[in-house]
């Protein structure tokens, strides 16, 4: 039987992955009140790092305090944040060779919210919330406190914040950075004409709406080592008429490709509560499929990818170079093991777990 494509090596920039399974960044809403990681993150990231995936990306880490979705979000904007993250990474790396990247982002107008298990509603200032910022003073939902429209000085500070966080990421030894320009957060808000109603050089035309994303990519790329990949996650569409769509996403991807972007991770939606979409297996894979036709950089697919044959089909069929799993990995943290067993591949496992290998699968652990 031919070796499954899903378990073949992949290179992002100069970073070599042992297979094409990526663990998506997943917010845990479990940082302390200052945005620093806690013991929960040691447990969460530690067991995911034993899964045999090719790459683990740490949850969206805010580049500024006001960029957190909730007060429990992780940040990478202070020395305390950096030191707490260093302690977590030390534990993870002591027991796993898996490459670890980080997603850097800013929640924009979707910040200052409760944790999902508390309802996820926007917090008032009296409840401990904070003033949100956005390209324009357009709230995410009717009735919410409007965000503050960012000035040009605010935009320059945002770029400086991304650079500062990228430098911290390098000091921490992260092997990859993913910029978060999806799911309705700040960089996505600049891209979409639904949330960006500016009349300056950062609004209006597609070129202007893309400007801040390209400038931040260039600034982060300039301070992160050349041999380490910098990529991006985008929403392929707002799924709202008149919003950000696949054709605009292609133009952004081409511009990033020309700048040496290392990979593009294709998700969707999250910008507007009016979105209409049919959620089902592979529902976002068409974004990746189109990107594969348009750019040279590796493309990562997402979208309710849960079954081994499903993931192998996406990669083997050339729809994407890799697949990224989020909720599927939370539900089954050994998904890469089980997938390797199903497809007849080998996967890395810690020596402490080698004796768990079923007698019928003696070649499962390489």
CB 113 within 8 A of CB 70: yes
Residue at 204 is within a domain = yes
Q: Is residue 123 part of a domain?
A: no
In a domain, 235, yes or no: yes
Residue 279 is predicted with a pLDDT of 85
How far CA 314 is from CA of 8, 31, 180, in Å, comes to 14, 35, 23
Q: Which residue is catalytic, options 29, 185, 283, 353?
A: 185
**Does residue 51 lie within any of the structural domains?**
yes
- Measured distance between the N- and C-terminal CA atoms of the chain, rounded to whole angstroms: 17
For 232-245, what is each residue's pLDDT tens digit? 999 999 999 999 99
202 is catalytic: no
Q: Given this model, what pLDDT does residue 68 score?
A: 98
Q: What CATH number has the domain bearing residue 144?
A: 3.20.20.70
DSSP 268: -
Rounded Cα distance, 324 and 292, in Å:
16
Residues pairing with 62 in the sheet: 75, 105
241: in domain: yes
Total domain count for the chain? 1
Residue 53 in domain: yes
Angle between helices 39-48 and 79-95 (to 10 degrees): 40
Specify the 3-state DSSP secondary structure of 298: coil
Print the domain residue range for 236.
5-117+128-361
Is residue 122 included in any domain, yes or no?
A: no
Does the reported pTM lie above 0.95? yes
- φ and ψ at residue 127, rounded to 5 degrees: -90, 5
366 within domain boundaries = no
Please provide the DSSP assignment of 179-248 as one string.
EEE-TTSHHHHHH-TTT----STTSSSHHHHHHHHHHHHHHHHHHS-TTS-EEEEEES--SSTTS--HHH
pLDDT of residue 1: 52
Residues of the chain short of pLDDT 70, as ranges, are 1
- For 113-165, the three-class secondary structure string (H helix, E strand, C coil) is ECCHHHCCCECCHHHCCCCCEECCCCCCCCCCCCCEECCHHHHHHHHHHHHHH
- For residues 231 and 164, the answer to whether their CB atoms sit within 8 Å is no
Question: What pLDDT score does 53 carry?
Answer: 98
């Amino acid at each position: 039987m031919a070796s499954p494509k899903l378990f073949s090596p992949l290179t992002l920039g100069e970073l070599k992955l042992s297979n094409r399974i990526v663990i998506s960044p997943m917010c845990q809403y479990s940082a302390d009140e200052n945005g620093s990681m806690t013991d929960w993150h040691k447990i969460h990231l530690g067991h995911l790092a034993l899964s045999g995936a090719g790459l683990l990306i740490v949850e969206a880490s805010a580049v500024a305090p006001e960029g957190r979705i909730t007060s429990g979000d992780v940040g990478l904007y202070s020395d305390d944040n950096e030191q707490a993250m260093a302690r977590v990474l030390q534990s993870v790396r002591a027991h796993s060779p898996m490459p670890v990247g980080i997603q850097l982002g800013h929640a924009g107008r979707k910040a200052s919210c409760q944790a999902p298990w508390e309802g996820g509603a926007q917090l008032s200032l009296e409840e401990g919330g904070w003033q949100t910022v956005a390209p324009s003073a357009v709230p995410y939902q009717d009735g919410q406190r409007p965000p503050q429209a960012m000035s040009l000085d605010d935009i320059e500070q945002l770029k400086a914040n991304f650079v500062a966080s990228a430098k911290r990421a390098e000091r921490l030894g992260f092997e990859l950075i993913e910029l978060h320009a999806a799911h309705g957060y700040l960089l996505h808000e600049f891209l979409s004409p639904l949330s960006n109603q500016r009349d300056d050089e950062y609004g209006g035309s597609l070129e202007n709406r893309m400007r801040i994303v390209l400038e931040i990519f260039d600034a982060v790329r300039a301070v992160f080592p050349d041999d380490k990949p910098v990529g991006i996650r985008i929403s392929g569409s707002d799924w709202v008429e008149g919003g950000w769509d696949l054709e605009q996403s292609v133009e952004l991807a081409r511009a990033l490709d020309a700048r040496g972007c290392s990979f593009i991770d294709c998700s969707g939606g999250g910008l507007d509560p009016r979105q209409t979409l049919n959620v089902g297996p592979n529902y976002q894979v068409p974004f990746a499929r189109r990107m594969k036709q348009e750019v040279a950089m590796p493309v990562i697919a997402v979208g309710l990818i849960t079954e081994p044959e499903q993931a192998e089909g996406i990669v083997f069929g050339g729809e994407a170079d890799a697949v990224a799993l989020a909720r599927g990995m939370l539900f089954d943290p050994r998904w890469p093991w089980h997938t390797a067993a199903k497809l007849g591949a080998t996967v890395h496992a810690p020596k402490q777990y080698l004796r768990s290998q079923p007698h019928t699968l003696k070649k499962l652990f390489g």
